[in-house]
């Protein structure tokens, strides 16, 4: 598909997202905070509404028709996700509240029971807090040690640095696929291959990759992979953990309660089968069903088309950002055709605070994020308390990038003038 056709694709899908067609402070909205959360198409909103209007009942419990329908739709959503990521079986997909809960599940179930003093966990300096803090908590309890993969000179994942850290002491590698701050696409296949050669398990945080590119967990060969529904056109309150079946089977339950048991006695219980063993309590039923609708929506467009279009947007975004004075963009440069980097840019403008920038851009209808993006340790490496961040999705257009860059330049001029 050519660039012009892809542009038409973005314009075509915008009608599916009612929220995009509004004004903010009297200006038409330009939503460029997609790494924080994506917008939801009508198909997802309809699925949520249909569930609550027609099928609302608890799952796996009742014999009545509504409960049967709710259960079928909920388990159908699991099938859709399993197919979307090419899991070997539906038992390998566990619904969680979000990616953060999925990482905690692995940390508490696998980490707490398999790590001992002196064992090493390798992660990277660019991780989101949700891939730092659970492991820091587990390391404290088990005596395991955390090692951090550094950055290259280009502010990319340092594969050579990773190789130096990987040793006989390593028991787990847990890294992000696409950084929410640097935008780099990490060489996860190579990391997984090298780790498996040493018998080391690997968890991939796919929060910022799964919404934007095709993911095949069998090809990638990760042991676990986590994602959040709200970043991939689905609702908030639902995410999932993928895990290889044999590994999940060997892991003890994370949370106890209803749904996850087989039998309960006064002196103990037996566990239910996968995937229910890890889904204690009533799940986010409507949200999981709507996430299934999001997966249908993305599949219908085609993840390869989304990825290709976003590469074009990345190339255009970086060409336009090169015109902005005093800009410091974090992370590696994309190639001329936008490859090698996700469609996002965290940046600072000398002398202007990121939150002032995002507030003034909001007054022009342009939504970008500012702050530390839950990557405080990474920002400290750059000696920055935070940054502004623009992040795109397949419904964003070239015209929106133009508007963003124009308003950004005007805002910089404004600050330059008042600062004398
Ligand atoms: N990043 C951002 O604006 P939850 O909160 O569980 O849905 O997602 C956590 C998470 C984990 N890993 C990565 C790489 C992420 O980007 C995120 C969420 C948002 O960048 C919110 S801080």
Any ligand 1 atom below 6 A from CB of 370: no
Q: What share of the chain is helix, strand, coil (3-state, %, to 5)?
A: 45, 20, 35
Q: Does the Cβ of 35 fall within 6 Å of ligand 1? A: yes
Residue 113 CA to ligand 1 centre (angstroms): 26
Question: Phi and psi of 135, rounded to 5°?
Answer: -75, -30
Mean pLDDT per 10-residue section of the chain, whose length is 420 residues: 59 96 98 98 98 97 92 98 98 98 98 98 98 98 98 98 98 98 98 98 98 98 98 98 98 96 97 97 98 98 96 96 96 94 97 94 98 98 97 96 97 89
- Asked whether residue 118 is assigned to any structural domain, the reply reads yes
In a domain, 18, yes or no: yes
Q: What is the CATH number of the domain that holds 215?
A: 3.40.640.10
Which among 279, 299, 319 is the end of a domain?
A: 299
Note whether 126 and 198 are same-domain residues. yes
Mutation test residue for ligand 1: of 133, 179, 180, 390, the one with most atoms within 8 Å of CB: 180
Instruction: For residue 38, tell me if it sits in a domain.
Output: no
The token pair that represents 174 in the structure block:
């847990």
Q: What is the CATH number of the domain that holds 323?
A: 3.90.1150.10
The minimum-distance atom of ligand 1 relative to the CA of 97 is 6
Do 258 and 400 fall within a single domain?
no
**pLDDT at residue number 6:** 52
Among candidate residues 267, 299, 331, the one where a domain is terminated: 299
Centroid of ligand 1 to alpha carbon of 36 (angstroms): 7
To which H or E segment does residue 83 belong? helix 65-84
**Closest approach atom of ligand 1 to CA 375:** 22
- Alpha-carbon distance of 87 to 190, in angstroms, equals 20
Contact between 97 and 238 (Cβ < 8 Å): yes
Structure tokens at 410: 């005007």
Q: Per the domain annotation, does 386 fall within a domain?
A: yes
Q: How far apart are CA 19 and CA 22, in angstroms?
A: 6
Distance between Cα 384 and ligand 1 center (Å):
19
Asked which of 243, 277, 299 is the last residue of a domain, the reply is: 299
Give the number of domains in the chain: 2
Span from the CA of 237 to the centroid of ligand 1 (angstroms): 13
Establish whether residue 123 lines the binding site of ligand 1, counting it when its CB lies within 6 angstroms of any ligand atom: no
Active-site residue flag, 222: no
Query: Is there a contact between 60 and 258 (Cβ–Cβ < 8 Å)?
Result: no
Residues 19 and 94 reside in one and the same domain: no
Q: Tell me, yes or no, whether 126 and 267 share the same domain.
A: yes
Apex CA 45: angle with CA 39 and CA 51, to 5°?
A: 145
- For residue 214, being part of any structural domain is answered with yes
Residues 72 and 192 in one domain: yes
Write out the residue range of the structural domain in which residue 363 sits: 3-31+302-419
- CA-closest candidate to residue 337, choices 364, 370, 361, 314: 314
> For residue 40, is it within any domain?
no
Q: Is the CB of 228 under 6 A from ligand 1?
A: yes
Is the pTM higher than 0.85? The answer reads yes
Same domain, 52 and 135: yes
Q: Measured between alpha carbons, how far is residue 249 from residues 92, 142, 280, 346 in Å?
A: 10, 22, 16, 40
In a domain, 39, yes or no: no
Considering the domain architecture, whether residues 133 and 247 belong to the same structural domain is answered as yes
| 227 and 242 belong to one structural domain | yes
Residues 181 and 152 grouped into a single domain: yes
DSSP 302-341: -HHHHHHHHHHHHHHHHHHHTTSTTEEE-SPPPPTTSTTB
CA distances from 261 to 97, 224, 252, 300 (A): 19, 23, 12, 37
Closest by CA position to 199, among listed 167, 174, 227, 175: 167
Tell me, yes or no, whether 265 and 288 share the same domain: yes
Q: How far apart are CA 81 and CA 71, in angstroms?
A: 16
Q: How far apart are CA 320 and CA 312, in angstroms?
A: 12
> Is 66 in the same domain as 25?
no
Instruction: Kindly state the tokens that stand for 166.
Output: 């990987």
Is 23 part of any domain? Answer: yes
- Ligand 1 pocket, residue 207 CB under 6 Å: yes
* 389 in contact with ligand 1, CB cutoff 6 A: no
Residue 2: what pLDDT? 52
pLDDT at 357: 95
- Cα separation, 334 vs 342, whole angstroms: 8
DSSP H helical segments within 85-152, as ranges?
A: 99-106, 112-114, 133-142
Residues 6 or more apart whose Cβ sits within 8 Å of residue 128: 176, 180, 205, 207, 373, 374, 375
Do 223 and 290 sit in the same domain of this protein? yes
């Amino acid at each position: 598909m050519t660039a012009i056709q892809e542009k038409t694709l973005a314009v075509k899908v915008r009608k599916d997202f009612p929220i995009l067609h509004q004004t903010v402070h009297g200006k038409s909205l330009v939503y460029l905070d997609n790494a924080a959360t994506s917008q939801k198409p009508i198909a997802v909103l309809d699925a949520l509404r249909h569930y609550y209007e027609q099928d609302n009942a608890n799952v796996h419990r009742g014999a009545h028709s509504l409960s049967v329908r709710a259960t079928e739709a909920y388990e159908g959503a699991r099938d859709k996700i399993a197919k979307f990521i090419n899991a070997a079986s539906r038992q390998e997909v566990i619904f969680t509240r979000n990616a953060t809960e999925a990482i905690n599940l692995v940390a508490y179930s696998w980490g707490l029971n398999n790590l001992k003093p002196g064992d090493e966990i390798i992660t990277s300096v660019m991780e989101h807090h949700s891939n730092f803090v659970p492991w820091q908590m587990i390391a404290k309890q088990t005596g395991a040690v955390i090692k951090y993969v550094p950055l290259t000179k280009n502010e990319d994942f340092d594969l050579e640095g990773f190789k130096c850290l990987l040793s006989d002491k390593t028991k787990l590698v847990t890294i992000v696929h696409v950084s929410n701050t640097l935008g780099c696409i990490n060489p996860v296949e190579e990391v997984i291959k090298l780790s498996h050669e040493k018998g080391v398990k690997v968890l991939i945080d796919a929060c910022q990759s799964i919404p934007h590119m095709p993911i095949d967990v069998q090809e990638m060969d990760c042991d676990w992979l986590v994602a959040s529904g709200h970043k991939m056109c689905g609702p908030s309150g639902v995410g999932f953990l993928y895990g290889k079946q044999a590994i999940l089977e060997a892991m003890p339950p994370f949370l106890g309660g209803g749904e996850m048991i087989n039998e309960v006695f006064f002196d103990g219980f037996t566990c239910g089968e996968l995937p229910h063993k890890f889904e204690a309590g009533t799940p986010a039923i409507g949200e999981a069903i709507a996430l299934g609708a999001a997966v249908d929506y993305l599949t219908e467009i085609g993840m390869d088309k989304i990825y290709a279009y976003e590469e074009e947007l990345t190339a255009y975004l970086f060409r336009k950002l090169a015109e902005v004075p005093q800009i410091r963009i974090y992370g590696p440069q994309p190639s001329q055709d936008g490859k090698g980097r996700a469609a996002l840019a965290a940046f600072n403008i000398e002398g202007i605070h990121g939150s002032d920038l995002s507030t003034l851009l909001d007054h022009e209808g342009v939504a970008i994020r500012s702050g530390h993006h839950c990557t405080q340790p990474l920002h400290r490496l750059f000696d920055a308390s935070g940054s502004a961040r623009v992040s795109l999705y397949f419904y964003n257009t070239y015209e929106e990038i133009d508007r963003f860059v124009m308003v950004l330049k005007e805002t910089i001029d404004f600050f330059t003038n008042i600062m004398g």
